[in-house]
Amino acid sequence: MCDIAPILLAGTWKAANSSETFSTQNPITQEALPGNYPISTWADCDAALTASASAADELANIAPTQIPKFLRRFADLMEENRNSLGHLASLESGLPSEHRLAGREMDRTTDQIRQTAAAAEERSWKQILIETKRDLRSMFAPIGPVAIFSPNNFPFSWNSISGGDFASAIAAGNPVIAIANSAASGTTKALAELAFQASQEAELPSATVQLLYRMNHEDGKRLVADPRIGATAFTGSTTAGLALKASADAAGKPIYVSLSSVNPMVFLPGAIREHGDQLVNRYSNVCLKGTGQFCTQPGLAILIDDEATKGFIAATKDKFNGVTPGTLGSKKTLANLIEKIAVLKKAGAKVITDQEQKQGSGFSHPNTLLEVSGAQFLASPKALQTEAFGNTAMFVVCKDVAEAKMVIDALHGQLAGCIYSSTDGTDANAYEELAPRLRRKVGRFMNDKMPNGMPVSIGMAHGGPFPATGHPGFTSVGIPNAMRRFAMLQAYDQVRQSHLPEELRDHNPTGKLWRNIDGQWTTGDIAEVK
């Protein structure tokens, strides 16, 4: 029997309190990979919460330089081990190592971690407000232990122990309880080893970073509702996310969920006539890239019926038929895709691609393009917005702009949306009618751009109305905004200088920290502003 991987609990790698284990699979060969991972009981969850609560108290008293030091060292260690990490993540995800994992995704991940380090060091993310007349002072401060549940489609940049949620929570001053995605347990363990090393070198509390691999559903719900937890971040299936959200909401605990989005694209007739072949290539490539396993994959396209549109659909169908299907991340991902396509078909969508395509490797499914009329969509809007996560997309062909308006009005909340329109003005009226409606439905609105390629930058917003996320006012990408999910607003009313956090005292602790004093943003001391 394979050795059972230890969990990281309270600063120690130790055997889990568990009677059940699981293993990961190579999605391409479908073979079990070496190693077993424990399914923790509540005893492990309870111990992790207790240790994390103590770590939160300790983190409140560390030097301001320690968290940035940890984050930068962790990023360095990841890069030093990029090849071995990329190889392991490739085995578990089926994604290519050299260019995707050890290359672009590693660079994106470490850049994001270093951005949070800079924000933690600079501290303006705290939005410090001081009102001298009433001696009122406020700022954002750590919320407490953060539990993170992650997906497996981005083994580094969304991992529960290296991704944006992790970096943001740590940079805001919180300890993290990371729950590995079952399909990426080996990768998560390897990352946890580096994160723990970096935390020791930065002399952070021993339980700043903890790792569990899996727990049963009831214990997961109990964890996110526990009084010791500060907040939870979850990215994954709608069913699991809603179950956790219901439990956290009932206990009044913040939870940030990213659940379901089909990221609607509107291709207006003038744009198709002007850039038809280019749009076919762009749309097909984005839908099939990475076997469609992106939360911003444009799974629904709204079209206006005419001859140019018919040609666009036919050409896109040929593209889907001509590309060898890629490998999905796990057996569960494949089963879920098959199930969701069945839901779309039952609601009236017709598969228009050839389902006898060349077979892909391992856990694969034929590239699937579906079509439905605007009237059919309006008859079953909920079912026809089902996210079929993978190499699948659906056309909604509307008879006119008026029907397209109704289709957009029937959409639920989405992460991203776009309208492609002509440059010669022929689509101008249609754009003016559709854009305000789509703008209200999506977190990120675009013109003439596919929704992939999401930079980690200060202006980026990766959020949206429910069910794309659980709260339309927050983003999981973009520093420092993403950090504020894991903070509470603290006000101090006539508190003595010696009892205030240093950021709120009359003297600016760094001489560079931006603070709003009596309505004026300044880096000066209070005496200088007066």
* pLDDT tens profile 9-44: 999 999 999 999 999 999 999 999 999 999 999 999
Q: What is the pLDDT of residues 136-163, one digit of tens each?
A: 999 999 999 999 999 989 999 999 999 9
CATH number listed for the domain at residues 265-447: 3.40.309.10
CATH class for domain 7-18+36-122+146-259+475-482? alpha beta
**pLDDT of res. 440:** 97
Whether this model's pTM surpasses 0.85: yes
Cα-based angle 234, 240, 242 (whole degrees, multiple of 5) = 80
Q: Please state, for a pLDDT cut of 90, what percent of the chain lies above it.
A: 95
Helix, strand, coil percentages in the chain from 3-state DSSP, rounded to 5: 45, 20, 40
What is the location of CATH 3.40.605.10 in the chain? Answer: 7-18+36-122+146-259+475-482
What residues does CATH 3.40.309.10 cover in the chain?
A: 265-447
Do residues 296 and 415 make contact, with C-beta atoms less than 8 angstroms apart? Answer: yes
List pLDDT tens digits, range 320-365: 999 999 999 999 999 999 999 999 999 999 999 998 877 899 999 9
Distance CA 174, CA 201 (A): 18
Across 376-385, average pLDDT = 98
Question: What is the C-alpha to C-alpha distance for residues 101 and 440, in angstroms, rounded to an integer?
Answer: 34
What the block records as the tokens of 231 is: 């907040």
pLDDT tens digit string along 254-301?
999 999 999 999 999 999 999 989 999 999 999 999 999 999 999 999
